[in-house]
Structure 1
Amino acid sequence: MLLIADVGNTHTVLGLWNGKKVVERWRLGTSHISTEDEFMVHVNHFLEFSQRSFKDVKDLCVASVVPSVNDVFTYFARKYLDKEPIFVTAKGANWIDWNVRTPQEMGADRVANVIAAKREFEKDVIVVDFGTAVTLDILSEKYEGGSILIGPKTSLKALFSNAAKLPTVPEKLPNSAIGKDTPSNIQSGTLLGTAFAIDGLINAYERELSKKFKVVSTGGEGKMFIGISKRIEKYDPDLTLKGISFYYEEWKRHESSSR
């Protein structure tokens, strides 16, 4: 099986791909990925918990937005798999027309999301990915670009850190847009505000491109926003992991054909 890693600024999501679907997924703090041996301990722990064995892991594919940990994955793959890891890049996904100025600057997670969207929907889809930041990516006949917003958890942390009188509140959608106390004011502004910003951006994209799009969300908070966003139609928690797996499959196919 293929070990897949979606490395974000706060969390890393690991998964196992059996050639057809994601069969396991685990989450750990990215800050805990410091050496290849420590990472192996985490992987073994997850596998044992899932009643699986490391001997079933044959390769590693990574989408990372944290360059400082990439060497850990390289050393891990060399030491424990006797392989070079595959890293997701826009340049490597040359079957997609990246209609942006600097595709090499795209986050690998966004590249993976677009790859998965193309495989599953072909075109005319927008992916909304909730993490430390919220990213929106537009796939028409080409990849057209998108937007980056501050994530709702990041917004809440920023408020608590910089406004001494504001209390810590749970990340919970309020019952009303009109806050009646300080916690519901904060929840309205950060959570409902994020949903309305997403909807407004999608509406703007459609006006600029003169077409309608399907909208799918992913990421840790993506499911919660289906209840308030008027535009998000579907939540797929494994979208990024699937995109990483599809990238690997295309890479292997290209490698085989070039021999």
Structure 2
Amino acid sequence: MLLAIDAGNTNVVFALLDGREIKTRWRIATDPRRTADEYVVWLNQLLQLEGYAIADVDAVIVATVVPRALHNLQVLAEKYFKTTALVAGQAPVDWGIELDVAEPGSVGADRVVNAIAAHHLYQDDLIVIDFGTATTFDVVDYSGAYKGGVIAPGINLSLDALVAAAAKLPKIAIEPPENRSVIGRTTVDAMQIGVFWGYVAMMEGLVARIRAEIGRPAKVISTGGLAVLFNDNSDIFDAIAPDLTILGLALLHERSLKT
């Protein structure tokens, strides 16, 4: 079985797959100081709870945007799973798609992996929106080529910055306001409108501008933890693909077996 690891700025997601089928998944806060020994104690218990064992894992693939986290994940694979971890974007794992951008080496592995999976699922011009620490908008053309995109502060990051910089503003939950009015009658109402509907307006505006620049219809695919929340409050999304990054890693692993 394949252990796919997506190490983001906030969380590391571990998914156990049989082929492309996700059997189970777990997440833990990203900490580059966490050692392979700490990872395996945590993973071993979770595997057993799901009826699996360390010996069931015979391959590991990692995508990370946190370079300092990579070494300990590679040690985890070698020491405890007795395999060399494949690393998305590094030999012998070829992306298999064109990175049609000015600086291909600077594109985050998660963004490319999302593009691979999105093209596999939807063979159209695509805008892939991933809600993470940052919210990314990635453009994939009908041939599967990655064309670039947008990186915006994630909504949690935006809210944290607002609360930290303004002493009298309270911490609020990220949720739709009770009604669709955009005139807040209290401080909390005004914040919820600014954070939530302001973010929706940003997404809708960027999608409109990207579609106009592409010059062709483009499907919008969303992924990440807040995808469902925004999908319920905007009509820009054509599909939600919560496991897009994990699917992309599974596809990369399959490709590596053929090389």
Relative to the length of structure 1, the TM-score reads: 0.93
Q: Secondary structure of the equivalent of 2:31?
A: helix
**1:116 alignment partner in structure 2:** 117
Same amino acid, percent of matched pairs: 36
**1:40 alignment partner in structure 2:** 40
**1:244 alignment partner in structure 2:** 249
Q: Secondary structure of the equivalent of 2:12?
A: strand
Following superposition, the deviation at residue 49 of structure 1 comes to 2.2
**2:6 alignment partner in structure 1:** 6
Following superposition, the deviation at residue 19 of structure 1 comes to 0.3
Asked if 2 retains the 8 angstrom alpha-carbon contact of 1:4 and 1:14, the reply is yes
Whichever residue aligns with residue 200 of structure 1, its letter is: G
- Give per-residue Cα distances to partners, 1:105-154, cap 9 Å, x unaligned: 11111111001011111231111000110001111132111101110111
Following superposition, the deviation at residue 101 of structure 1 comes to 0.7
**1:52 alignment partner in structure 2:** 52
- More divergent stretch after superposition (62-71 vs 78-87): 78-87
Q: Distance in 1 between matches of 2:33 and 2:59?
A: 18
**2:158 alignment partner in structure 1:** 155
Asked if 1 retains the 8 angstrom alpha-carbon contact of 2:200 and 2:234, the reply is yes
Q: Secondary structure of the equivalent of 1:137?
A: strand
**1:221 alignment partner in structure 2:** 226
**2:209 alignment partner in structure 1:** 204
Q: Distance in 1 between matches of 2:19 and 2:70?
A: 24
Whichever residue aligns with residue 241 of structure 2, its letter is: D
Q: Which runs of 4+ in 1 moved over 3 A?
A: 90-94
Whichever residue aligns with residue 2 of structure 1, its letter is: L
Q: Distance in 2 between matches of 1:10 and 1:55?
A: 28
- Given the superposition, is the C-alpha separation of residues 90 and 139 from structure 1 closer, same or farther in structure 2, using an over 3 Å criterion? farther
- Given the superposition, is the C-alpha separation of residues 157 and 83 from structure 1 closer, same or farther in structure 2, using an over 3 Å criterion? same
Following superposition, the deviation at residue 4 of structure 1 comes to 0.7
Q: Does 1:253 align with 2:258?
A: yes
Whichever residue aligns with residue 113 of structure 2, its letter is: A
Whichever residue aligns with residue 237 of structure 2, its letter is: I
Q: Distance in 2 between matches of 1:90 and 1:77?
A: 16
Q: Distance in 1 between matches of 2:197 and 2:6?
A: 27
**1:74 alignment partner in structure 2:** 74
Q: Secondary structure of the equivalent of 2:136?
A: strand
Q: Secondary structure of the equivalent of 2:227?
A: coil
Aligned residues: 254
**2:99 alignment partner in structure 1:** 98
1:106-145 to 2 correspondences below 5 Å: 106-140=107-141, 141=143, 142-145=145-148
Following superposition, the deviation at residue 157 of structure 1 comes to 1.0
* Partner of residue 194 from structure 2, selected from 189, 197, 205: 189
